[in-house]
Amino acid sequence: MRVIPVAGRDSMLLNLCGAHAPFFTRNLVLLTDNAGHVGIGEVPGGEGILKALERAISLVVGTELGRWQRTLNAVRAACGGRCGAPQHQVTNAAEESVLRQPHEINLRLENVIAAVEAALLDLFGQYLGVPVCELLGNGRQRDSVPMLAYLFYVGDAARTDLPYDAGTGDDWYGLRDREALTPQAIACLADAAVDRYGFRDFKLKGGVMAPEQEVEAAAAIKRHHPNGNVTVDPNGAWSLAQAVAACKGQGHVLAYAEDPCGPEQGYSGREIIAEFRRATGIRTATNMVATDWRQMAHSYLLGAVDIPLADPHFWTMQGSVRLAQLCHDWGLTWGSHSNNHFDVSLAMFTHCAAAAPGDITAIDTHWIWQEGRARLTTEPPRIVRGKVAVSDRPGLGVEPDMAEIAAAHALYKKVAAGARDDAMAMRYLVPGWTYDPKMPSLARG
C-alpha cells in the first residue's frame, strides 16, 4: 500500500472563503495485490488524512481481498470510532488541524475509509472482472451519469503575483483562467462549458456577490440555456430573510437552491433551510447540513432537504450508494458534492452514481477546471453531452499513470504549504480580507 500526496493547478475561483490558490492537494492510495493488479483511490489532501492513511498501512497489507469489508472495519476501528465523530472527540493534533478550516467541513475521517475502500473495490472488481458499480448496492443501474457545469466567479489573477495559468483564447480552456464577475461573464463561461462538455445542468458557486446578483447570474445562465437546470450555492452565507427575498418567485430560474442559508438566531441550519423551503417552494440541496446519518435523520424529519449531496469522499462509496437507495425509497433525490479533484475521483463519483437507483440529479464535479491541464490516469473518463459513460472495464476502469502521479507528487512537495489557502489569495483582491461565514466574500458593504 502506497499513500501518495499530490498537487494540481487551479484557477482563481471565488467562493465564500475567498479565492482558490493556484494549487490544490489530494491524497492517493495505491494497493498492489499478489497477482500484480493495482487498485487506486483518491480523497482530499491534507496532513491529517495523509497521516491517518499512513497509519492504516499495516492494517491493509497482507489481508485477503475477499475479506475487504473486514479490512475496512479494522481501519474504522483504528480510528477509535472517531470516523465521523464531532471535532471535539478528535484527539490527534494533525487530524484536528485539517478539521479546523471553516470551509472544509466535509473533511473527516471517513475520507480515510473512502480512500482504502475505493482502492480495495478497484482491486476486487479487477479480480472478479466486473466494474465497481456492480459491487455497490444492487449493482449497476444506468449506463451513463449526468454531470453538471460547476461554474464559479473567477478573480483577476493578473492582480496577484501567484503562479496561476494565464488564460488565452475564448474557449473553455481560455475563459476558465480569466476574470468573470458579471452575470454576462458567467453566462459566457456556461456557454464555453457547454461547447466543450455538452452540459444541460449548471451550478453557480455563490457567497461572493449579493444574493440578488447571484440569482441574476443564475438567470443569465438560464436565458442562455432555457432547457437547462440551474442552481446556486452560497454555502449558507445568506440569512433566511435574504434567501427568501432573493429566491421567492424564482422557480422558473432555479431548479433547486443549494445551502441557501444556514444556522441563525439559535436555529439549526436544517431548521432554517426547512423554513426557506416552505417559504419559497424551491427544492433544496445540501452538502452542509445532512452530511452524515444522524444529520440526515434530523433533516428528513424537518423536511429540510430534497437533494442530499452524498459525496463518496465523506460518505464512503458504500455509504453514498446506501443513501441513494434510501433517497429512492423515501422520495428524495440523490446527488453528489465535489471539491477540487483529479480523474480517479471522477471515476469514484461515476461508479457511485451508476449504482444509484431511480432519478438522480446531475452530480457536481470540479474536473472541468482540471481537465486538459492535469491527469493521473492514462485515459481519464470523458464528459460528453454532459455525461460520463459508465465503463465496462473491471474495477474503477482507470489505469494509474505513474509518470503523471510522480509529477503531481513532485508538485505537491513544492507547493503543499500554500495550497488551497483561500484567504491568502483573496487578500490580493481585497487587502486585509478575512473570512466571515455570513458575508459575501467580494460584494461587501
Q: Catalytic positions, please? A: 205, 337
Burial call 107-133: b when 16+ CB within 10 Å, e when fewer:
bbbbbbbbbbbbbbbbbbbbbeebbbb
Nearest to 337, CA basis, from 301, 378, 297, 309 = 309
Provide the 10 A C-beta neighbour count for residue 418: 13
Which runs of consecutive H residues, i.e. helices, occur in 152-292?
A: 172-175, 183-197, 211-224, 240-247, 269-280
Give the shortest CB-36-to-Mg ion separation in angstroms: 40
Beta strands 149-152 and 201-205 are parallel
Query: 23: Cβ–Cβ under 8 A, 6 or more apart, which residues?
Result: 7, 8, 9, 10, 411, 415, 416, 418, 419, 420
Q: Which of 9, 26, 76, 103 binds ligand GKR (CB under 6 A)?
A: 103
Verify binding: residue 291, ligand GKR, rule CB under 6 A.
Answer: no
From the list ligand GKR, Mg ion, none, pick the one residue 160 interacts with, judged by a Cβ distance below 5 to 8 Å according to partner type: none
Site string for ligand GKR, 14-33 (x = CB under 6 A): -x------------------
Give the shortest CB-179-to-ligand GKR separation in angstroms: 17
From the list Mg ion, ligand GKR, none, pick the one residue 205 interacts with, judged by a Cβ distance below 5 to 8 Å according to partner type: ligand GKR
Kind and range of the H or E element at 119? helix 110-128
Site string for Mg ion, 264-303 (x = CB under 5 A): -----------------------x----------------
Give the shortest CB-291-to-Mg ion separation in angstroms: 10
Verify binding: residue 108, ligand GKR, rule CB under 6 A.
Answer: no
Q: Which of 287, 318, 365, 377 binds ligand GKR (CB under 6 A)?
A: 287
DSSP string, 1-15: -EEEEEEEE---BEE
Question: SS in 3 state form for 305-350?
Answer: CCEEECCHHHHCHHHHHHHHHHHHHHCCCEECCCCCCCHHHHHHHH
Nearest to 367, CA basis, from 43, 147, 154 = 147
Q: Grid coordinates representing 292?
A: 452524515
Looking at 76-84, 141-149, 169-177, 334-342, which segment touches ligand GKR (CB under 6 A)?
A: 334-342
Q: Which of 108, 178, 205, 328 binds ligand GKR (CB under 6 A)?
A: 205
Looking at 9-17, 122-130, 258-266, 322-330, which segment touches Mg ion (CB under 5 A)?
A: 258-266
User: What's the burial of 360, exposed, middle or buried (CB within 10 Å: 0-12/13-18/19+)?
Assistant: buried
Verify binding: residue 284, ligand GKR, rule CB under 6 A.
Answer: no
Q: Grid coordinates representing 45?
A: 489532501
From the list Mg ion, ligand GKR, none, pick the one residue 15 interacts with, judged by a Cβ distance below 5 to 8 Å according to partner type: ligand GKR
Nearest to 203, CA basis, from 238, 255, 167 = 255
For ligand GKR, the closer CB: 6 or 19: 19
Q: Which of 233, 311, 371, 422 binds Mg ion (CB under 5 A)?
A: 233
From the list ligand GKR, Mg ion, none, pick the one residue 103 interacts with, judged by a Cβ distance below 5 to 8 Å according to partner type: ligand GKR
Q: Residue written as cell 439559535?
A: 266
Give the shortest CB-59-to-ligand GKR separation in angstroms: 29
Looking at 137-145, 175-183, 318-326, 333-341, which segment touches ligand GKR (CB under 6 A)?
A: 333-341
Q: Which of 42, 177, 201, 233 binds ligand GKR (CB under 6 A)?
A: 233
Verify binding: residue 15, Mg ion, rule CB under 5 A.
Answer: no
Q: Left, alpha or beta for 266 (phi > 0: left; psi -120 to 50: alpha)?
A: left
Verify binding: residue 235, ligand GKR, rule CB under 6 A.
Answer: yes
Nearest to 1, CA basis, from 70, 78, 65, 53 = 53
Query: What 8-state DSSP symbol labels residue 390?
Result: P
Kind and range of the H or E element at 19? strand 18-19
Site string for ligand GKR, 339-378 (x = CB under 6 A): x---------------------------------------
For ligand GKR, the closer CB: 122 or 422: 422
Instruction: Note the residues at the interface with ligand GKR (CB under 6 A).
Output: 13, 15, 103, 205, 233, 235, 287, 337-339
